[in-house]
């Protein structure tokens, strides 16, 4: 890298340190981003001061081809924007080549989920000859059948659910109520729990809560999470799990079988459709995987 470029980068880094008081890690990252761009420019004998919009776009494309993450490329572009704003202010440049370039879309991390066969294996593990087993199966079946959040599941009361109608009333985030249907398998598991499990767990106590701990009290998120991990281990499921794994599976499998996003949004209790749209990406990845596995010319 030329001495001219080194001096220019040092002046810029000193300037943003004095004005913004950025950490040494951030300053080091900015310097690295600028050095990488300069090295790329110097291959075509160009300079930072004379770089064009087309060259900035070509550089971003180069990063994409080299499998740099969208996040690091967005940071690199952010650094270039700051540099050219500084260069314009100092009269070093006469135009900003980044002004009309859009930042890369970072996207959101995809939730971890389970395949339909994974869910079947998980649901086959609870021992329904045991009070805790009947409770666990009812909770797992209901979560997979309705897409409830864990916090909603453990707070369910008798007055919120009807196994006859196969529907429950949920008070979700922001105390917004929604009606959520559930199928026969979940209904049967709940009825079985009410007949053979809940009374044993309740003992001589009284509670409006549907699902109880072995001490006859309300369940905690941690307890339910422990039970999911326990059954997943028994089923030989090695995938990354979270307390909301079955909620994610509910959403993904509904989409895979033809549900529309608006319906899914209502069932999940999302206030914004963009939150629900994350599941379309999971469904697409699943379809691609199935195609790659089963199509004769994949």
Mean pLDDT, consecutive 10-residue segments, the chain of 298 residues? 85 83 82 91 88 87 78 86 91 88 64 87 95 96 93 92 92 80 94 95 92 93 92 92 87 85 85 74 64 58
Q: Is 206 exposed, middle or buried (0-12, 13-18, 19+ CB in 10 A)?
A: exposed
The token duo for 125 is 């593990």
**Start-end ranges of CATH 1.10.443.10 in the chain?**
116-294
Terminal C-alpha separation, the chain = 46
The token duo for 42 is 């110097």
Q: Is 193 exposed, middle or buried (0-12, 13-18, 19+ CB in 10 A)?
A: buried
Return the active site residues: 149, 173, 244, 247, 270, 279
The verdict on domain 116-294 having CATH code 1.10.3720.10 is: no
Beta bridge pairs of residue 212: 218
pLDDT at 297: 59
pLDDT at 296: 58
The verdict on domain 3-89 having CATH code 3.30.360.10 is: no
pLDDT at 298: 44
Of 216, 232, 163, the residue nearest 192 (C-alpha): 163
Is residue 112 within 8 Å of residue 241, measured between CB atoms? yes
For 63, the enclosing helix (H) or strand (E) is helix 53-65
pLDDT at 240: 81
**Start-end ranges of CATH 1.10.150.130 in the chain?**
3-89
Is residue 241 within 8 Å of residue 232, measured between CB atoms? yes
**Please, what is the Cα angle at 249 between 135 and 159, to 5 degrees?**
40
């Amino acid at each position: 890298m030329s001495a001219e470029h080194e001096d220019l980068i040092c002046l810029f880094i000193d300037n943003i340190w004095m004005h913004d008081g950025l950490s040494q890690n951030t300053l080091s990252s900015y310097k690295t981003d600028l050095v990488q761009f300069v090295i790329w420019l110097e291959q075509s004998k160009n300079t930072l001061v004379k770089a064009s919009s087309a060259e900035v776009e070509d550089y971003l494309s180069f990063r994409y081809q080299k499998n740099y993450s969208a996040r690091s490329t967005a940071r690199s572009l952010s650094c270039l924007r700051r540099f050219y704003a500084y260069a314009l202010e100092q009269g070093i440049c006469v135009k900003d080549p980044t002004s009309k370039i859009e930042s890369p879309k970072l996207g959101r991390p995809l939730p971890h989920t389970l395949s339909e066969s994974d869910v079947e294996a998980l649901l086959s593990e609870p021992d329904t000859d045991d009070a805790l087993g009947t409770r666990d199966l009812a909770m797992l079946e209901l979560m997979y059948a309705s897409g409830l959040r864990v916090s909603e599941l453990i707070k369910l009361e008798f007055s919120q659910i009807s196994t006859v109608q196969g529907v429950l009333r949920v008070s979700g985030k922001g105390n917004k109520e929604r009606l959520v249907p559930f199928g026969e398998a979940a209904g049967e598991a709940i009825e079985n729990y009410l007949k053979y499990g809940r009374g044993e767990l309740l003992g001589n106590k009284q509670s409006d809560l549907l699902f109880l701990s072995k001490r006859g009290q309300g369940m905690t998120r941690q307890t339910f999470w422990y039970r999911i991990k326990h059954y997943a281990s028994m089923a030989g499921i090695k995938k990354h799990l979270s307390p909301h794994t079955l909620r994610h599976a509910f959403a993904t499998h509904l989409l895979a079988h033809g549900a529309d996003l608006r319906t899914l949004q209502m069932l999940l209790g999302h206030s914004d459709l963009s939150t629900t749209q994350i599941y379309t990406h999971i469904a697409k990845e699943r379809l691609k995987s199935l195609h790659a596995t089963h199509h004769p010319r994949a």
